[in-house]
Amino acid sequence: MGTPVDLIVFDGLSDADEVQKVVFVEIKTGKAANLSKRERAVRECIKAGRVQYSTIHQSFDEETNRLRDMGMN
């Protein structure tokens, strides 16, 4: 990751098969380490609940040796 979020934590996943919560982490150093405009926008989006989970299904055509069109869910 790196920008605009440094880490995503799946709390509980290492202890069991159930995730208790997903935490977006931005690491800052120094006393005056403020969030950038983009980082604040991501934080506000997450706080407002405007988050979703998507799966991309990608298949490979063995005959043409190419990726096929992607389908998103």
Three-class DSSP labels, 24-40: EECCCCCCCCCCCHHHH
Question: ∠ CA 57-72-41 to the nearest 5 degrees?
Answer: 125
Token pair for residue 64?
């043409």
**C-alpha atoms less than 13 angstroms from C-alpha of 41 in its C-beta half-sphere:** 5
- Residues 32-61 pLDDT 10s: 789 989 999 999 999 999 999 998 877 888
Q: Whole-model pTM?
A: 0.68
How would residue 10 be classed by pLDDT, with cut points 50, 70 and 90? Answer: very high
pLDDT band at 31 (very low <50, low <70, confident <90, very high): confident
> Domain boundaries in the chain?
7-72
